[in-house]
Amino acid sequence: MTEALQFAGVYVQNTGYIPVEPWRMLSYAFVHNPFSISSPLSILHIAFNMYSLYIFGRVLEPMIGRWRFLVLYLLSAIGGAVAIDLLTSGMSAVIGASGAIFGLMAATFVIVRKLGGNMSQLVVLVILNLAIGFLVPGISWQAHVGGLVVGALVGVIFMETRQRRQQWLQVGLTAGLFALLIAVTVIRAFV
């Protein structure tokens, strides 16, 4: 079942051999198969993702609201997919929520720092988890980096346009970021 939802660059690259299935840029972030990764840390990886979603969800959702949280999660997942497309061979298939989770961490960092909070412990957590992604086979560091970058950008958009009179600017900038991610993917598909 997870094979039908996994993401690899080949699903958006218009090769002519494999059908273009852009929904996989999102679906991969909602599934995980503990037996598909050849690492004994697979179950821990799933547990970390779910625990992180719980922790950052409890912090972020009350701060930014349900809909902004959803937008942040989805855009971070798409950012992870774009990074996978750009930084891996087209056949490197991935599943899991890590890209979106890293986006939540980056947005938390940006938002809490902008509000004057200390995020040094979060920086250590991100560095350790990025290192794990580079060192442990079967974990997509590319999705981590893509989610991190997009999550930080969404956090900046949310913080710089948080006044009620800037609501449409926030929607426009967020939609613009989504359009940019899709444009990068489309350009990559035809280059």
Q: Which two tokens stand for residue 125?
A: 């957590």
Q: Return the closest-CA partner of residue 189 out of 4, 7, 20.
A: 20
In whole angstroms, give the CA distance from residue 135 to residue 75. 26
Active-site entry in 42, 45, 52, 144: 144
Question: Is 98 noted as a catalytic residue in this protein?
Answer: yes
Distances (CA, A) of 56 to 44, 63, 69, 72, 138: 18, 11, 10, 12, 24
Longest dimension (CA), the chain: 51
Among this protein's residues, is 45 annotated catalytic? no
The 3-class SS string of 159-170 reads HHCCCHHHHHHH
Look at residues 144, 142, 150, 148 and name the one whose alpha carbon lies nearest to residue 176: 150
- Out of 27, 42, 98, 140, the active site residue is 98
List residues with catalytic annotation.
Answer: 98, 144
